Amino acid sequence: MDVQYNINMAHLKQLAPMGVINDREGHSNAEHYVDALRIRTPGLRQRARNLSGGNQQKIVLAKWLCNDVKLLIVDEPTRGIDVGAKYEVYELFNRLSDQGVAIIMISSELPEVLGMSDRILVVHEGTINGELDAKKTNQEEILYLAAGYNKTKKAQ
């Protein structure tokens, strides 16, 4: 599957109201997101699997952004991609949240969590173990909750 098909894959319903795909709209849509997310590709006809990990990640994001989302849940959005692409993904998230999109980011990288979020919910063994304000907290506090250390103290 090439870049254009991939970007349009999750919103085929809007592109094809009668089951027949509007290719011109699909092309301009793909072009728009390749520009907006700075996806580095030789062309829209390039196969997505030949792109770098970061650019593939951005294609996945583009796929869902087409649908005018109000809420975005991302699971480890920067895993396995290089620093430059990571930075662009962060920038994109900031821009989106400025536009009023709610983002729930699941991540296990503490610097990323501290840098990106407004509120941090720490999960330990499947339940939320505490809520922190990203402006006022640090890595120790997060790990303290993540390891479930507060629970062991109560038990004593």
Partner 1 sequence: MNQSAETKPQNNLLSKLGPSAKKAMLSGTGLILLFVAFCFIVPGGKFFSKDNLINITQQVVTYSIIGFGLTFCLICGGTDLSAGSSLALSGIVIVSLLSWGVPLPIGIIICLIIGILMGILNGFSIEVLGVVPFIATLGTQWVFRGLANVAVDGKPLYTTSIPSQAVQDQFYMLGGGRLSFGLPYSVIIMLVYGAILFFVLAKTRVGRQIYACGSNLEAAKLSGINATRTRMFAYCVSGFSAAICGILVTSRINSAQPMAGQGSEMEAIAASVLGGVSNTGGEGSIGNTIIGALIMGVLRNGLNLSGVNSYWQNVVIGIILVAACALEAYRHKKLT
Q: Give the contacts of 24 (CB within 8 A, at least 6 positions apart).
A: none
CA 54/CA 46 separation, integer angstroms: 15
The amino acid occupying position 75 is D
CB of 147 to partner 1, least distance (A): 31
CB of 5 to partner 1, least distance (A): 7
Instruction: State which residue, 6 or 117, has the beta carbon closest to partner 1.
Output: 6
Instruction: State which residue, 83 or 155, has the beta carbon closest to partner 1.
Output: 83
Which two three-digit tokens encode residue 140?
A: 């120790």
CB of 35 to partner 1, least distance (A): 12
The amino acid occupying position 10 is A
CB of 101 to partner 1, least distance (A): 19
- The residues binding partner 1 (CB under 8 A) are 1-2, 5-6, 8-10, 12-13, 15-16, 19-21, 23, 40, 42-43, 45, 47, 49-50, 52, 63, 82-84, 87-88
Task: Please report the beta strands in 76-155, taking only residues with DSSP state E, as ranges in sequence order.
Answer: 102-106, 119-124, 127-133
Which two three-digit tokens encode residue 14?
A: 């809007």
